[in-house]
Structure 1
Amino acid sequence: MSIAAELLQLHLRWLVDDNRQWQELIADDIVWDLPYAPSLGHPLRLEGREAVLGHVAWFIGAVKDFRFFDAVVTATADPHHAVARVRAEGLIPSTGRTYRQEYVVFLTARDGHISHLREYFDPVQAALALDAPIAGVPSRSIG
């Protein structure tokens, strides 16, 4: 198994379940791209340890009983890159709704740490669970 594939598996296992151990996986200058997050009012890019830890802390506080499952982690020909497709589920206490999501995550490793993540997810699913508006879409009550 490549270092990137191993780090991606650990990322999925520890991000929420053992966040302190997960923090040891990330480089100080980590970059986390979230191309669809701006439609929810979240940053497009998190740069550096503090920005990433702040966003992850928000997520852990906003979603309870979050878990990844059905992960398919694929190593690439370059041992410093890996990709995963993974499903996830959790409860949004503020709305009482279940958050269900499918993610595609690209990881780059450097010096045994996660140096770059690029995460794709369906912002509509997040907005429905959070009862949040989607930028550019007129607001309406969600039943």
Structure 2
Amino acid sequence: MKTEDTRTLIERYYEALTSADISTIKECLAEDIVWQLPRSVANGEGFAVQTDSEGRVSGEQVLLELGGDTVKKAFDMSKPFALDVRHMIVEGNKAVVQQRITATARATGRPYDNQYCWIYTCNDGVISHMEEYTDSLGADLSMNPNR
């Protein structure tokens, strides 16, 4: 994909993500998409996303998670929630997005403030692969009631 097409797709995806527009999120994702999470959170206690042993979520499950399940399981949505895109770098079919989420952890009531870096691969007008980097220890300390 061309850089400008990738940028448009990622911007559309983030707009849909922040407004919980599930139909547009689905349009932005390949049917066989792979979401690679940090291995340290693979089915970890206190984390909302269920992955395989390598920290991956694939296909339709990605849509279910990103369409609100993860956010609703992880955060108290009666409290303020913010997803702030801080930087976006796009070249060809790749995009790198730095973002910050602030919220209240549902399981503990503790404040959640974490930085993320996402690397997206886009093909044929959709996101085909997404790789997440974040402070998994910070997330665990905020979300895990046993900490």
TM norm structure 2:
0.76
1:70 positional shift = 4.3
Root-mean-square deviation (Å) = 2.1
Q: 1:3 deviation in Å?
A: 2.1
SS of the aligned residue for 2:116 comes to strand
Quick one: percent identity of the two aligned structures? 27
Cα deviation, residue 9, structure 1: 2.5
Partners in 1 of 2:119 and 2:69 — Cα distance? 22
Aligned with residue 82 of structure 1, among 95, 115, 124 = 95
Query: Unmatched 5+ residue regions in structure 2?
Result: none
Q: TM-score w.r.t. structure 1 length? A: 0.78
Q: CA deviation at 1:13?
A: 2.8
- Pick closer, same or farther for the CA change 1:66–1:83 going to 2, 3 Å: same
Q: Equivalent residues in 2 for 1:37-52 (5 A)?
A: 37-38=41-42, 40-41=44-45, 42-43=50-51, 44-48=55-59, 50-52=60-62
Count of paired positions = 131
Give the superposition deviation at 1:16: 4.2
Q: Residue 90 and residue 13 in structure 1: after superposition, are their counterparts in 2 closer, same or farther (change >3 A)? A: farther
Runs of 4+ in 1 over 3 A off after TM superposition: none
Structure-2 residue corresponding to 1:135: none
Which residue pairs with 1:73 in the alignment?
88
Structure 1 gaps of 5+ residues are 133-140
Match of 1:17 in 2: 19
SS class of match (1:126) = helix
Preserved contact between residue 107 and residue 144 of structure 2 (Cα < 8 Å): no
